[in-house]
Structure 1
């Protein structure tokens, strides 16, 4: 079932989809003499994408700096501040004219041109004013529970900009580790062995800024703080307050600290110094300070330490008001330097409670469903919505999404998000964020989480921008894969589909690079994770499990032996999955076989084989 607008067949196909297109007759082909006219303001943006434009057009594309007025046969690029933020006016007539409302809009206009050229050198004449529906389009990585390589973070920023996300939230601390190293005598011992120093993270923040992405650090306080307590045992509550030093959420060992004792001024100074060092070192516009999953109200009220502190602040306060007062202290600390403060939703469900956080804080609402965020909006809070039932990616340990009803496993389903989900609009709803959580993941690599998040990222990019849909997620992913990756990060050559089917052979050996495979729907159709408590179940899970453990085998000559080329050990999605061979190789035949070594039938999977173009 599909809701909302379906793409106009006459509109040029790009990702994210254009919000509108006013067509004119004819097409433009940029010739060898084409130039790029830029202003001093847009020159750097053009420089980032110029080599890809040269490759696609075959033109020299000499850069002419000046007024960037459109000239026949040229590409002109400028900023017009009266246009919408992050939006761009894109016109193809006797030349290409790109005007961005800001530099982000300029970048997105250049990306649209690149995507059109990747599909055809003939550019359809017409124009569009394209801009996002949602102001915030975000992604989050759980760097607290596991370490992601800096190279992965850089590659992710390339892809996020290509998908027009404008926010990357780095959850830098959790119960098991603090991942940011502050090089001062007071904090030098706090970070885990695998961590990032401030200079390294500052480089990531600066790279994000160059990609028009705000990189937001999170220091999760006052709970999820076991790693801080290990580094500074004075942060723990008194030993006889067992429940304050233990978590009810299963990961952190009992009595090793969960919620820090913020009742002592020395502890608050120590924590505030760490937060300030990170904020100053990274120079992000906002800092997320956690604020979730402390103990329930009855446990907090039973803490004589916390309740006594709260009553000292105000005789009418309850225990949780003492924690909220500390969050407000940190907010004021950050506001003094001109920074915004963000916290998770959680406090609203803690009772008894007298106070609420300042409306100057941004709430990341991770309620089970979207409609549960209405309370925050009606209460006057600015909100970024990240509902855990539909926007959380938590595959747990290898090979992901086990056969269990473990409530921590969550799968953001690309099919449901693309075909059925409608992003909401409200003046205080800033936008949306998907979250990749590493709960109980064990020893897995970055590619493991990329497999389980890449299609969600591609789908959400399109839906948060707000253009018209293709008829199905399958058609949309066809387009995504045809257009390819960001020219800033992807160095692989162009490919084409050479054949289709579980077993294929070629008249002459071809250089095989990738395959795409799509599970066939089970009897009765797909039951999405959104419809089954956030995880795959029933016939849908059984169909996907038929493909978990499949492998690619190839023959290098027509009379050769089958040789192993690629394992596919992870759970696929119920649409197109894409996998690259570790090394492209010239082959005469290829096949996709199941765990029993026999080719998978068409009733189970549709397969496309991609070769060098």
Structure 2
């Protein structure tokens, strides 16, 4: 068993190795059940995610009989983009060799593919739908996003080779089903990102978080601070094109600018804002949040990204600023003793003489949260230093907690964050971290498709780091969503094509788990043979 390094390259890299933190031994953290879902009835066709309910019936209808996509109902005209995308994908998948006419009509034919927005009491989520393929093909949903979900299921049904008749009644359990992509350290081309979005949409994932800023780079053009953009980066025009493409596929794109840690790249251009401790230790990647100019620098960058992106959430980072338990309390790590300027700032901003460096950190994140909220975004931060009950202040409970880590059982649980008023996102670093390391893809006992499919659920949070145990969120505590994270600690370890190839199965099993339906089979091996081979990948 490896010990954690004394130096601090990245706790994300530490988790990539699947090592156990020595001080966690013997804590008796409860372990998750290895069977997080039941079987679907054997008559269900191979679909991914599996449907919530499927009822066989009717003879089915050969897709070659279809000549039109008929849009019906009060919102018929709003469905033209979904219809056009379905028609295109049917041709790309080789299911049709003729053009489908898209029209609005009150009298669809039996051979039409019918799309409609309608009230559906049996579907409890706006992204749910009802798909009938018994006598004609009809997709009904309470929203355009639900209709789009139904078209993805139709594509999978048709590509599986059969023409099953029946009714699918389906909906997601989680509002957000996401992937985080580290474009701060590795360049991914616009076409590659679009292909990723297509695949996510095919699997009914609905959110892409672009991690723009990291210690090695900044992945998007900046006009307010052009010096910070990496040599290879997305231009603003390319970002807008990606956003348009994502919108057509009902995928939200959230910006992610990490601070006050992980700022080596940005602060290399602004060393005057690097944190210098009492003993003279300079931390190239840490922002001195007591400096007005330092806070203004980050505000300008964040505000520019607010104006570029149109998602509903802005991720403000906040991770790895204070030391992990294994780093100790020496003069070279951030503490009240080593960074008195943070304490002075905390007391100034709170007016409380008992304020600490933690209160300075909370004030900093609350300031940024107010900025993005003013631009219409919900703020979100990593959970590292959300510490309910500590200090004289607190992180605004309207800020969402992205829960990736729990170092040991002395730290708050996901339930503690929920009790403090924070909405929860599950990004469990023991399962959901796809990490490019110097040795290739990061390993761990459960950090792989099998671990995700056979053990993890959206309510399975980290119980203690290093795969030392799971924490099952009690019933009654809601989870907004969950995300896979693609971290590029060693960006040259894989090409973007190799990332796509290796990530494919991670996406597939994750999509099943976050949809929340009963699993189609018990094991990953069965899923590969019974479902994945039939479902295939997004038409391209």
Alpha carbons of structure 1 residues 294 and 30: separation in structure 2 relative to 1, 3 Å: closer
Match of residue 482 from structure 1: 534
1:125-171 CA-partner distances (Å, limit 9, x unpaired): x2122111111111111222222222221111111111111111111
Tell me which residue corresponds to 2:233. Answer: 195
Aligned-pair CA distance for 1:483: 2.3
Greater radius of gyration (CA): 1
Q: Partner of 1:580 in structure 2?
A: none
Contact 1:32 1:60 in 2 (8 A): no
Task: Give the alignment's Cα RMSD to 1 decimal.
Answer: 2.6
SS in 2 for 1:305: helix
Instruction: Indicate yes or no: 2:513 matched with 1:472.
Output: no
Aligned to 1:295: 322
Residue of structure 2 in register with 1:45 after alignment:
82
Does the CA-based 8 Å contact 2:445-2:451 persist in structure 1? no
Please tell me whether the aligned partners of residues 437 and 493 of structure 2 are also in contact (alpha carbons under 8 angstroms): no
Q: Is the 8 A contact 1:74 1:96 kept in 2?
A: yes
- Per the alignment, do residues 213 and 293 of structure 1 end up closer, same or farther by CA in structure 2, a change over 3 Å counting? same
Cα offset, 1:81, TM superposition: 5.0
Alignment of 1:127-276 (within 5 A): 127-184=167-224, 187-238=225-276, 242-243=280-281, 245-246=282-283, 257-276=284-303
In 2, the alpha carbon distance for the partners of 1:259 and 1:352 equals 22
**Is residue 360 of structure 2 the alignment partner of residue 322 of structure 1?**
yes
What do the CA deviations read for 1:98-124 (whole angstroms, capped 9, x no partner)? 012212211121121121112235331
CA deviation vs aligned residue, 1:293-336 (integer Å, no higher than 9, x gap): 11339532021211111111222311111111011111111111
Q: Give the length in aligned residue pairs.
A: 467
Q: What's the CA shift string for 1:20-55, capped at 9, x where partnerless?
A: 112224333345464321121111101112134354
Alignment of 1:49-88 (within 5 A): 49-53=86-90, 55-57=94-96, 61-67=100-106, 70-82=108-120, 83=123, 84-88=125-129
Q: Does 1:379 align with 2:420?
A: yes
Q: Which runs of 4+ in 1 moved over 6 A?
A: none
SS class of match (1:159): helix
- What residue in structure 2 maps to residue 568 of structure 1? none
Residues in 1 aligned to 2:321 and 2:300: alpha-carbon distance in whole angstroms: 22
Indicate if the aligned counterparts of 1:367 and 1:373 stay in contact, CA closer than 8 A: no
Cα distance in 2 for partners of 1:436, 1:140 equals 6
Q: Give the Cα separation in 2 of the matches to 1:98 and 1:290.
A: 40
Q: Aligned to 1:414, which of 449, 474, 489? A: 449
Cα distance in 1 for residues equivalent to 2:389 and 2:41? 51
Runs of 5+ consecutive residues of structure 2 not aligned to the other structure: 1-33, 460-474
SS of the residue corresponding to residue 227 of structure 2 reads coil
Residues 368 and 427 of structure 1: is their aligned pair in 2 closer, same or farther, counting only changes over 3 Å? closer
Q: Is this contact kept in 1: 2:58–2:134, CA < 8 A?
A: no
Structure with bigger strand share is 1
Deviations, residues 451-471 of structure 1 (Å, cap 9, x unaligned): 432211110111211222224
1:249 aligns with: none
Q: 3-state SS of the aligned residue for 1:237? A: strand
C-alpha distance 277-71 of structure 1, shift in aligned 2 (>3 A): same
Tell me, in whole angstroms, the C-alpha distance in 2 between the residues paired with 1:160 and 1:430.
18
Correspondent of 1:356 among 368, 389, 394 = 394
Pick closer, same or farther for the CA change 1:27–1:151 going to 2, 3 Å.
closer
Native 8 Å contact 1:259 1:294 kept in 2:
yes
**Residue 28 of structure 2: aligned partner:** none
Equivalent residue number for residue 472 of structure 2 = none
**Which stretches in structure 1 are left out of the alignment for 5+ residues?**
247-256, 403-408, 491-613
Q: For residues 441 and 192 of structure 1, do their structure 2 counterparts lie closer, same or farther at Cα, with a shift above 3 Å needed?
A: closer
Q: Under a length normalisation based on structure 2, what TM-score does the superposition of the two structures give?
A: 0.80
Give the 3 Å change call, closer, same or farther, for CA 454–426 of structure 1 in structure 2. farther
Q: Which residue is equivalent to 2:11?
A: none
Seen in structure 2, the aligned counterparts of structure 1 residues 459 and 232 have a Cα distance that, compared at 3 Å, is same
Task: Determine the C-alpha separation between the residues in 2 that align with 1:423 and 1:468.
Answer: 13
